[in-house]
Amino acid sequence: MVQAVQGAGVVVTGAGGGIGAALARRFAAGGAKVVVNDLDAARAAAVAEEIGGIALPGDASAIADEARNALGGAVDVYCANAGLASGGSEAAGEEVWAQAWDVNVMAHVRAAEALLPHWLERGAGRFVSTVSAAGLLTMIGAAPYSVTKHGAYAFAEWLSLTYRHRGIKVHAICPQGVRTDMLAATGSAGDLVLQPTAIEPEDVADALFKGIEEDRFLILPHPEVAGFYQARAADPDRWLTGMNHLQRKWEETR
């Protein structure tokens, strides 16, 4: 059992299913009091009832204060998990880009803005950002998703380097394929790149808890992502050539 979780007040956004539900279940099993957030009120209620948590449906961008009240005054762990898997190219449309930016990045910023004054005052708080390997690498066929997940990773990194000496813990979870509705929605690109090594949402929760125990910022449920990330940094042109090969292979299947 992770000591930091026992008795903690935890918020998980996008927790009506997939990774979010797995995180909520794992925190509850570890002795935390969990607020389950999702846009779908019925799904939030179902998960909350299952784990003995508190359902708080609605926009993840605006629940920090309400969650604090629901938990009796303290949010110890905030899991910014809600995300939008926006596909498309540079021509995806302004509204697609804006929505991806709002959900995948600005919701994290707004949550941090609401939480940090309390955390800094008491010298403790934990921010968990569900990013994606796309935030370290990229994803073919999904420009809005790839770009905004890079933004989510950059914000988590900035939070950590800025506030770690003041007691703030930050974790960035960067899985590749996870067997969720979001993976199913990626279509043929996901079938090519993500499905072959896809893992279960519970595996992501396991990886996070191990990372919390080891006090690690970067959580890689797919360990091979570390090698891909290193290769990208060491020789960007070679890495881009390899990704372009995947792009062409995908185009041949469409």
pLDDT of residue 210: 97
140 vs 99: which has the higher pLDDT: 99
DSSP for 62-131 reads G-HHHHHHHTTS---EEEE-------B-TTS-HHHHHHHHIIIIIHHHHHHHHHHHHHHHHT-EEEEEE-
> Mind listing the pLDDT tens digit for each residue in 123-176?
999 999 999 999 999 998 999 999 999 999 999 999 999 999 999 999 999 999
Active site residues: 145, 149
> Mind listing the pLDDT tens digit for each residue in 193-247?
777 888 899 999 999 999 999 999 999 999 999 999 999 999 999 999 999 999 9
Q: Domains plus CATH for the chain?
A: 9-253 (3.40.50.720)
